[in-house]
Copies of this chain bind each other. A is one copy, B any other.
Amino acid sequence: MRPSGRDLSEMRAVSIETNVTKHAEGSCLIKIGDTHVLCTASLEDRVPPFIKGSGLGWVTAEYGMLPRSTGSRMRREATTGKQGGRTVEIQRLIGRSLRAGVDRVALGERQITVDCDVLQADGGTRCASITGGWVALRLAVNKLMKTGAIVTDPLITPVAAVSCGLYAGQAVLDLDYAEDSEAGVDGNFILRGDGRLIEVQMSAEGATFDRKQMDQLMDLAEAGVAQLVAAQKAAVA
């Protein structure tokens, strides 16, 4: 029934290649099916004003799509004079989600910026960015711990995300673009490695939903994130 022929509760193939750029403190290329995102974690000099002198750290994220990561070429945001509303929404979500897995005291007064740049898009880019972004962050923190800059591990738990939705009236896991553009309800689920919830966003697009359907999507999301966390752990091992 699904355009890809997958089962309702079947994820796309997941691959996470680490250390893909020689400059970043941590990096990976995450592929969730045909969605490919390059994630880098950079230890940055500048610290946001609101943490100066607090002893607390900060993790933030930026998101971008290459102009031809999509089916038809999008206008480059650098030429339009600003990031679009969707971009801003997504990078705020990525940053918020990653911070939920960070002990900011243990991190100490420093900022790590996670850049998620979509090389090829096929649905679920924000979830792939969170999942891959955590891997880049983990690798950057490992490097800081190896040098002794950080003593206590500030990464409490993996953070991973998956989208689920109602497609042709059925709850399905890990929507690809063909499904996403037709789904009546679309949700993003960000969880910790231990299954606790960080953020849930469910949104009707042309349909509505009830609490029973919400529960079905939650069940799928928990199963999907468990697979992603396993892939994260394997990648950083």
Contacts and interface: CB of A to CB of B under 8 A. Distances in A.
Q: Classify chain A's interface size.
A: 35 or more
Contact of A40 (B64, B66, B192, B210): B66
A204 interface: yes
A217 to B, nearest CB: 10
Given A44-B73, A64-B78, A202-B197, A119 B38 contact: yes
Interface string A86-115: 011100100010001000000000000101
B211 A218 contact: yes
A117 B66 contact: yes
Contacts of A210: 196-197
Pairs A-B, 6 closest by C-beta atoms? A77-B78, A196-B208, A85-B88, A42-B73, A40-B68, A24-B68
6 contacts: A27-B68, A42-B67, A79-B83, A89-B92, A199-B202, A199-B203
